[in-house]
Structure 1
Amino acid sequence: MHSALRGAVLEAHRRMERHTEGVRASCRKGCAFCCLAWVVVGLAEAEYLWTQLPPHLRLRVEAEGPVRLERLVRQKGHPRLPTRHFLEARPCPLLTAEGACGVYPHRPLACRGVLTDLDARYCAPGVVPALRGRARLEYLRQLGPRHGPEHYLRRPWQAAERLARQIWAAEQQIRGFTVVGELVGLLYLAGKPAFQRALALGKRAVRRWLAERGLLGGRWGFWVG
């Protein structure tokens, strides 16, 4: 990994940690509903995370990555792909049996920005859409200007998005392009020599490589630019 890109990722992570200092979140170790989500990251964070994976987690990514990519090929144009994935409650392969992130100090910005100060039961797949009557009114009563989307805290969410875009901008300057896509699939590709060879050849080669495998474009497929 290019040292300047690694530095950009680490600096963004440090800034995110400073941004969330003092945030009173209800998130705790073992509360892992957000680890069931369809997470989107940029290539630099995926490359960095791959270098931090211990062997047993690399094996998990090697097993789950092709499953995610095959799903992308079939469903990248479906508007509800992330919702479908979340409702299936298929956990991130980096999640431990105790419900903790196996690479917590190195987790991507997309994960760092998902925080809430409401009860964790609202984060479970399908719970909020299913609320009716008094239960829904009670949920809505707890929401305020600090929330959004839904019951997640707005400021960490927005900070994570802003810092991620800054990493992408750094990639544009250093590499000439970035790749954005689903976390596990992109993490899997980051460890593949064939994908690395395409990266070395530049943006057109990467676009062609992804397109030949049906992974480029659509609503949720990989984006290169």
Structure 2
Amino acid sequence: MPNGWQHLQKLVEDCHTLLDEQCARQLHTLSEQRVPIHCRSGCDNCCNLAVNATLPEALRIFPSLGAEQLERISQHGEGLVEIARAAVDFKDYLRRRRSDLGDCPLLEADGQCGVYSLRPLACRALFSTRDSAWCAADFSVLHPAEKEAFLSSLDPRLVAFPTHYLAAPQELGRRLEDRIAETMAARWGFSVSGSLAFLLFLEQRCALSGLMEQGLAATTAALERAGYHLPVLIHAQPI
């Protein structure tokens, strides 16, 4: 990773710590109110979701990856590229990604996250108020009566309706992502976010963090030449 990114790593660490502390306080309050949260160690159903992150969060993870993890990232990234090129829209991309690729490539065989202490804000902010089976449910195939029963069981004051995940951690997580993106843009003139797995893939294949030092136009041109300028997977936002 180029030295210019070092100052952003401390910001990412601070944002992760702040979110963890806020989540711990809310979970303690919910426990006192006897509101169950169903997330447990080894529960990996949420790891089939598409995870987005800022590039600095991905760069915090990248140096920790071992050879097997990098190989999974490479294979998964190639799959993402193929799906993104074939998808007719974002909804089609999500359907194909879920059916063709499945779980996050950082998920280990024992159901544990391989980078748990470094996981991005999007993962840290996810807390399920329903049984973990709902985290793996494909709502597109549910009977309308099942969908209605599920939705009517949710407390819209607590969750990010129409999902069953706590709203407050996700809202704070998005604000912290914005803070990281704004700091990145102030440093480089633009910010980059997108699929976590794809950002790791691009750092592996193209040294994306180094490309960014050349500016937005040069970065976009390099990704286009490589066939990786895929808006469904990566977002570059100028100041």
Matched, 1:206 2:209: no
| Aligned residue among 146, 154, 160 for 1:148 | 160
Larger mean Cα displacement after TM superposition, 95-104 or 64-73: 64-73
Task: Give the superposition deviation at 1:107.
Answer: 0.2
* Number of aligned residue pairs: 223
Cross-structure match for 1:93: 105
- RMSD over aligned CA atoms reads 2.3
Kindly indicate whether structure 1 or structure 2 has the higher relative contact order, using CA contacts under 8 Å at least 6 residues apart.
1
Answering whether residue 177 of structure 2 is matched by residue 164 of structure 1, we say yes
Match of 1:185 among 180, 198, 201: 198
Letter in 2 for 1:119: D
Within the alignment, does 1:37 sit opposite 2:40 as a pair? no
Shift of 1:61: 1.2
Number of the residue aligned with 2:85: 73
Residues 40-68 of structure 1 show CA distances to partners (whole Å, capped at 9, x for unaligned) of 21211111110222332122212222221
| Alignment match, 1:13 | 16
AA aligned to 1:64 is H
- Cα 1:127–1:88 change in 2 (3 A) is farther
The alignment status of 1:139 with 2:150, answered yes or no, reads yes
Instruction: Please tell me the residue identity of whatever aligns with 1:17.
Output: D
User: What's the secondary structure of 1:224's corresponding residue?
Assistant: strand
Q: Is structure 2 residue 120 aligned with structure 1 residue 102?
A: no
How far apart are 1:143 and its partner, in Å? 0.6
CA, structure 1 residues 221+102, in 2 after alignment: closer, same or farther (shift >3 Å)?
A: closer
Task: Specify the SS of the correspondent of 2:213.
Answer: helix
The answer to whether the 8 Å contact 2:129/2:165 transfers is: yes
Q: Secondary structure of the equivalent of 2:39? A: coil
Once the 2 structures are TM-superposed, how far is the Cα of residue 152 of structure 1 from its aligned partner? 1.1
> More displaced, 85-94 or 43-52?
85-94
Q: Which amino acid aligns with 2:154?
A: L
Structure 1: runs of 5 or more not aligned: none
Give the TM-score of the pair, scaled to structure 2.
0.83
Q: Report the Cα distance in structure 2 between the residues aligned to 1:69 and 1:197, rounded to whole angstroms.
A: 21
Q: Name the aligned partner's letter for residue 139 of structure 1.
A: F
Which stretch of structure 1 is more off in the superposition, 11-20 or 140-149? 140-149
Q: How does 1:117-128 map to 2 (within 5 A)?
A: 117-127=129-139
CA contact (8 A) 1:109 1:164 kept: yes
Cα offset for 1:182?
Answer: 1.2
Task: Call closer, same or farther: CA 1:89–1:8 in 2, change over 3 Å.
Answer: same
Q: Distance in 1 between matches of 2:143 and 2:131?
A: 14
> Is 2:62 aligned against 1:59?
no
Give how far 1:16 is off. 0.9
Unaligned runs of 5+ in 2: 31-36
**In 2: Cα distance, 1:42 partner to 1:70 partner:** 22
